[in-house]
Copies of this chain bind each other. A is one copy, B any other.
Amino acid sequence: MLIKVLTLLLLAKVSFVASKLTEIVDLTWDFSNNTVYWSGIKPFSYTKMVAEDRNGYWYSMNEFCAGEHGGTHFDAPYHFNKEGWKVADVPITRLVAKGATIDLSRTETKSLAPKHLENWKRQNGEFDPNTFLIIKFGWSKYWNNRNQYMGIDVNGNMDFPGISAEAATWIVNSRKIVGVGLDTASVDPGRSSEFMTHRILSKNQIYNVENLKLLEDLPEKGFSVVVLPMKLKDGTGAPARVLAIPKNYL
């Protein structure tokens, strides 16, 4: 009982978040030749083609190449599920969603567990249908240092926070959450080699957004999220633009 009370107090303490969203927040990192990509994925590269004064006017245009999975990007269920939706197949109603936030950035935890989800429910009630769930580990502050961001340890292995398989199962069973986003390079923790969270979520048509830019506090609920991936017909994933929007803004 004492342990339970202490746990509740601890969880209450760590769930500090803004009480209300008052303006649109862009949760997207920009794409440039410096954008963080997973090793083995073709990084974003930019080719400046034209930037010149012509007869009386300026004209400029560029080309770019990239893998689907880098920077702030969308994982379609098809990424880890052969029967899953590709990017352009995901129903548009799931991309305009209710926002919910679990903020673990003031803790040392590197793994979202069912207890964090239960705690959110204790404080906020049931998740809304069609929820996009944001997990904030406070990792965005490392964005400009790839080694820190990927949590490269002395042996060269990755170690950054993510979502446990148990939490992924909890999310699926909630039947309320249609997408999950977080401020690290993968929904699976960096130490994962089995990618169970990707597998569990994608099997249930839940999409992910990785590398969200979460520099500000977001409310635990009561806002909207628009998640718009580039509409890649056969996409396993895609660069995405993600906004948190105050309720009743539109």
User: What is A's interface to B at a CB cutoff of 8 Å?
Assistant: 23-24, 26, 28-32, 41-42, 46, 48-49, 51, 53, 57-69, 72, 78-82, 88, 92-93, 95-96, 195, 199, 224, 226, 228-237, 239, 241, 243, 245, 247-250
A interface: dominant SS? mixed
21 A–B contact pairs at CB < 8 A?
A24-B96, A31-B231, A32-B232, A41-B63, A42-B63, A48-B234, A53-B82, A57-B80, A59-B80, A60-B82, A61-B69, A63-B68, A64-B65, A95-B243, A96-B250, A226-B226, A228-B241, A229-B241, A230-B239, A230-B241, A249-B250
Bound state CA distance, A232 and B57, in angstroms?
Answer: 23
Partner of A236, one of B62, B78, B82, B236: B62
A57 contacts B195, C-beta separation under 8 Å:
yes
Bound state CA distance, A64 and B45, in angstroms?
Answer: 11
Bound state CA distance, A146 and B65, in angstroms?
Answer: 24
Which B residues touch A80, using CB under 8 A?
57-59
B250 contacts A228, C-beta separation under 8 Å:
no
Q: Which residue of B lies closest to A230 (CB)?
A: B239
A64 contacts B62, C-beta separation under 8 Å:
no
A234 contacts B96, C-beta separation under 8 Å:
no
Whether A81 contacts B58 in the complex (CB less than 8 A), given A31-B232, A233-B32, comes out as yes
Which B residues touch A49, using CB under 8 A?
67
Which of A63, A199, A231, A233 gathers most chain B CB within 10 Å? A231
Bound state CA distance, A151 and B46, in angstroms?
Answer: 31
